[in-house]
Amino acid sequence: MIDDISVEHLSQQLKEDRRTRKRKSRKGWWKRHGRKQRYGITQEQWDAMFESQGRCCKICKGTEHCGMGWNTDHDHKTGEIRGILCRPCNAMLGYARDNVTVLAEAIKYLTTPKGIPCN
């Protein structure tokens, strides 16, 4: 005779296994179909683009994606794909609103000597 605790435990385990399988299949679906839907490119085209830029972030040249996956960067006005970036570089462009003047001012700010010491 199977007691209620064993049945409850088995039922919970099956639910967790189902959830894990669903998550994995959704992630795989996005890789296969999401880029095509969102950016108009296949996984093979994305792979070729990533390969052509040296399998690294197009801005910082880092080969690690910081544990958050690679981002497909695109021009929000034209929809044109510019490259594949790590999350921090993609966020930097987003926070600057893709504004070249803002980014140039940030470079000037970083390269100008500061007047007040931190210590």
pLDDT of residue 31: 64
53/35 Cα distance (integer angstroms): 18
Note whether residue 35 is domain-resident. Answer: yes
pLDDT of residue 66: 74
Q: What confidence tens digit (pLDDT) does each residue in 60-94 have? A: 999 987 777 899 999 988 989 999 999 999 999 99
108/60 Cα distance (integer angstroms): 18
Note whether residue 119 is domain-resident. Answer: no
pLDDT of residue 2: 56
Note whether residue 28 is domain-resident. Answer: yes
Residue ranges making up the domain that contains 8: 4-111
User: What CATH number corresponds to the domain at position 54?
Assistant: 3.40.1800.10
Note whether residue 99 is domain-resident. Answer: yes
Strands (E), 16-102: 71-74, 81-85
pLDDT of residue 12: 72
Q: What is the mean pLDDT of each run of 10 residues along the chain (119 residues)?
A: 62 69 63 80 94 97 85 92 95 95 95 78
Q: Each residue of 24-40: b (16+ CB within 10 Å) or e? A: eeeeeeeeeeebeeeee
Structural domain total, the chain: 1
Note whether residue 117 is domain-resident. Answer: no
Place of tokens 């880092």: 62
Note whether residue 104 is domain-resident. Answer: yes
Torsion sign (Cα): 25, 26, 28, 33: positive
